[in-house]
Amino acid sequence: MKKYIFLTSLLSFLIAAPAYASTLSVTPTTVNVTAGQTVSLTVTAQGGTATLVTIDAQLSYTASILQPVSFNFAPTWIPLTQTGYDQMSGGTVIKTGGYPGGFTGNKVLGTLTFTATHSGVATVSVTNGSLAYDQSSSNTLSGTQGSATVNVSAASQNQTTGTGTTVTGTTTNNGAANSAAVANALGSTTASTTNGVDQAAAAGLLGLGIPSWVWWLLLLIVIVLAGGSWWYWGNKKA
């Protein structure tokens, strides 16, 4: 008699229990990235023996570390974009899709991409609000759902970008650059301007770093020689 009662109770339990249970997974379950990089996670529906026709995947994420960028449905899925079925903000991602004809076993719903905005440990988890409807519009989702951990490290110095210093200056009456700007650009600390000619610029143009007074001396010698020649030939003709 006791054996009969036990078998009857077991049979009743098996009849009452669901023949299958669906879950949603997130892979990879652990990701290591650097702040500023993107993170791509795959959301997959495991239907078991059930024929699933609609998946309503609702996921939570750490909004202080991750920023959602996009969700790309896998082929064949028909996205439902009505209010309440499609969201990617405020720490929640909701993506809903229908699969024509239904499917059994495992089927990738799509790929969810985030940008890691800050360093820290973030989680992306399937919430209890998710649904997996079969052909009779029954929700078959049950049990522990999937989640992923994203470890975000701080960006190193050589990964940061910066802007160089732009040197600007006014022009003098002969078009030479302002001496202070030229000195800054050439890495020197001082520069002077004489008669509107920037000596630092002149030295750079005349080349070889020869002091400007040498050029003036050479110019004076040329003038003296030219004057002497003119005087000599003038007196000779006379």
CA–CA distances in Å: residue 181 to residues 45, 125, 164, 165, 188: 65, 57, 15, 12, 10
Give the model confidence (pLDDT) of 60-118 as tens digits: 999 999 999 999 999 999 999 999 999 999 999 999 999 999 999 999 999 999 999 99
Give the three-class secondary structure for 218: helix
pLDDT of residue 109: 98
Q: Is the pLDDT of residue 165 over 70?
A: no
Round to whole Å and give the CA distance between 9 and 108. Answer: 38
198 is written with which tokens? 């920037």
- Predicted TM-score of the model (pTM): 0.60
Round to whole Å and give the CA distance between 87 and 71. Answer: 10
Read off the pLDDT band of 234 (50, 70, 90): low
Per the CB < 8 A criterion, the answer to whether 75 and 109 are in contact is no
User: Is 179 or 55 the better-scoring residue by pLDDT?
Assistant: 55
Parse the chain into domains and list their residue ranges: 22-155, 168-211
Please give the average per-residue pLDDT across 9-13, as a whole number: 39
pLDDT of residue 192: 40
pLDDT of residue 13: 37
Determine what percent of the chain is predicted with pLDDT higher than 70. Answer: 64
Handedness of CA 20, 26, 27, 30 (dihedral sign): negative
Q: Is the pLDDT of residue 172 over 50?
A: no
Write down the mean pLDDT value for the chain: 77
CATH of domain 22-155: 2.60.40.680
User: Is 232 or 144 the better-scoring residue by pLDDT?
Assistant: 144
